[in-house]
Structure 1
């Protein structure tokens, strides 16, 4: 091959710019990626302002240094150096690996693969190398080993998800709000509930900027969705505290705590709200939440830290085991969550073919739409004819483009 002859100094005449292009193309097709990089170094020295080989160089770097990199045992500093090299010389384009390399590097940074301290600024700088409007908007699909097809978020959606999270971490709150608004405006269909997470980041940024009214309005709109996550209630609690609304704060504490049984993820929330409970006069519940925090930290092997409360946890509470602690706390949380709520009784009249929603007929004969996401307990026993207990909430009817009463917080009465 003429590249091999060139390396041996057997050329009859000096190479021109397109000679390098033809040679790079041939070497790349032969998967001689190391030779591609050697050729690129020589080409860049001869033609420092030319960009004809930048895309091929990027792909060669990817195959040699980035693809299959082991973040646990590999040289991560060298990995980042190679990423920086590609981004310095390459640009986003239809045949460029820049978008893919940025995505891989940002995922590695945010997952903590590159060290215990996450470098959000570096991740932000990498994302700024891309124009999100030029990223694919279509969801990606792939076939699993069991033959089922799985959908993945589009590259554009992932860019906005990463960017909004990073801006929030960097405390660039105005930029975070702008990013979230842009994402919610330009993405027609979100993967799973990514739009809810982006909306949550916007609300959190609004709270940090003391824009309480805007944060409250955005949260009220988000809570019209069928699916609910405890972090919505966490932000609701913070807004209520900012508005000095003790009753609303207590309700949000109960909602967040009872939404699912995975209490380990709410350690910081329990600690934060325990301080509020103590100041609100619920001293025993505050101490029980502090005790639950200690139990969860010990259970998971996490460091137990001093609590932000005067005095130690009383011995009679410190001696209580986790099940008993949760039983007493659940009774308190439930009382706060359900305060002032009116519960109705009825039967499941119809489950729609999708198996994800249907209609409940109340005792007075009125019919209410419901989603399986709003079934609080007994979901596996839910069927047409099941007796249920529920309350009502305003939700957006997308077909009629108006708010309507939906059955929520549904409990299936088991026989």
Structure 2
């Protein structure tokens, strides 16, 4: 029906000619016919003006009725924009199917009418992409949008559709790096907005990442996972230099991907420099693990051991730390401590068996190369407790303890400053007090260790006090 409505408008010239011929045959003068046509055009212009005014004032339901009246009663003088405005008002009322049919009819007759292409794509976006019902429908609608419109057209949903597809793939359990990389290839970064978005939520303004930042976020992760390490390094470096503001710690993750890429290319010095910087701002165990692996590759075994031990003692799921425990075993073998190495191997082996997971090449090689005898049965909880005690002892034995006193407690009740015996001052958090934090007071004597930290206010690395004990 929509197609028929549109066709009548496009055959306007023929319709007018037919009316003239009919008028002549019936004895009505051309003059009278032209008067009728003139009156018809005046009435059409008045209706258009009224409908356009309603549309501009967002009164879409009322505007729809008038546009329909225009098409029904003045089809011989309707143009592309009459039908487009009609479809636009339908779309604004979420009548996406009806609006789509009108756009399709327009495009069948005038395939180069870009506004109709864009409007059809927006209908697809709102009905099947933004409000995703099924993956197949979502991907099919996305393909249509990307085929019909262009990123260069700022009125099209091309760019936002690519980002919706990227977000869809990002949350897949089996991360599809190749597909994500292919999607980012469909975007020209030069055409992306580099300014952050700002939205209001619960009367609070929230700032979100720009299109360009999101592009680099998706692309660099995909490049890393695809093993395109040199390209990943270059694009991470480009992102760090071209973006003025970062969100979701993306500046850290760009440096993280660079470090992992350098490591994969056996450029351990470059990798570890980036990791040291990251470790001052992020306290995740896996960052320390990567530092340990880099040091181990450089035969800095003692340093590697300490970072691996610290990583083991950081918070994190045990099932995700299994390769870390095997790294510790590997290092302990290098340090001629096969007894403790086997304890780590034993734990990982039984943990994997309990979880019904494959033991894996790394574990099997450690067992066979060192003639480890795996125990028939193992109390995993007890074994893990013993490993924690071992790591704690190692860390304590290799860390230098300093003396000082509580110089100042901050009003937030969560932190303060310690002055060491050499006069230097160190920031600390009360959660790092290992004994009796409730009775903490200024001038109280303490012993402590020093670790790398990050001063968020000054935006630079710093030294902080940890493992604090009161006297």
TM-score normalised per structure 1:
0.80
Does residue 178 in structure 1 map to residue 270 in structure 2? no
Does residue 125 in structure 1 map to residue 182 in structure 2? yes
Q: Which residue of 1 aligns with 2:250?
A: 194
The corresponding residue for 1:58 is: 121
Task: Please list every run of 5 or more consecutive structure 2 residues that lacks an aligned counterpart in the other structure.
Answer: 9-71
Query: Alpha-carbon deviation of 1:173?
Result: 0.9
C-alpha displacement at 1:351, in angstroms?
Answer: 4.2
Partner of 2:276: 220
Change (3 A) 1:185 1:362: same
TM-score by length of 2: 0.71
Residue 205 of structure 1 and its aligned partner are, at CA, apart by: 0.5
Gaps of 5+ in 1: none
Alignment-derived partner of residue 262 in structure 1: 317
Of structures 1 and 2, the larger Rg is shown by 2
**SS of 1:52 mapped into structure 2:** helix
Matches within 5 A, 1:7-406: 12-13=75-76, 16-70=79-133, 74=134, 76-92=135-151, 94-112=154-172, 117-132=174-189, 134-135=192-193, 137-138=195-196, 140=198, 143=201, 152-225=208-281, 227-294=282-349, 296-297=351-352, 301-306=355-360, 307-308=363-364, 309-311=366-368, 314=373, 316=375, 319-338=377-396, 340-352=398-410, 358-370=416-428, 375=432, 385=442, 388-393=446-451, 406=463
Q: CA deviation at 1:165?
A: 1.1
CA deviation string 1:345-375 (max 9, x = no partner): 3344334456775421224553223467x94
Q: Retained in 2: the 8 A contact 1:349–1:384?
A: no
Deviation per CA, 1:217-237: give whole Å up to 9, x if none: 222333333x32222212212
| Shift in alpha-carbon separation, 1:122–1:336, aligned structure 2, 3 A | same
Q: What RMSD, in angstroms, separates the aligned Cα atoms of the two structures? A: 3.7
The answer to which of 174-183 and 354-363 deviates more is: 354-363
| In structure 2, C-alpha distance between the alignment counterparts of 1:151 and 1:382, rounded to whole Å | 41
334 and 365 in structure 1: CA distance in 2 versus 1, 3 angstrom threshold: same
Q: Distance in 2 between matches of 1:78 and 1:5?
A: 28
Instruction: Provide the secondary structure at the position in 2 that maps to 1:78.
Output: helix
Whole-Å separation in 2 of the counterparts to 1:50 and 1:383: 75
Other structure's SS at 1:310 match: helix
Structure 1 contact 207–239 (Cα < 8 Å) conserved: yes
Query: Relative to 1, partners in 2 of residues 1:157 and 1:383: Cα closer, same or farther, differing over 3 Å?
Result: farther
Taking a change above 3 Å as real, the CA distance of residues 402 and 267 of structure 1, as seen in their structure-2 partners, is closer
Q: CA deviation at 1:33?
A: 0.7
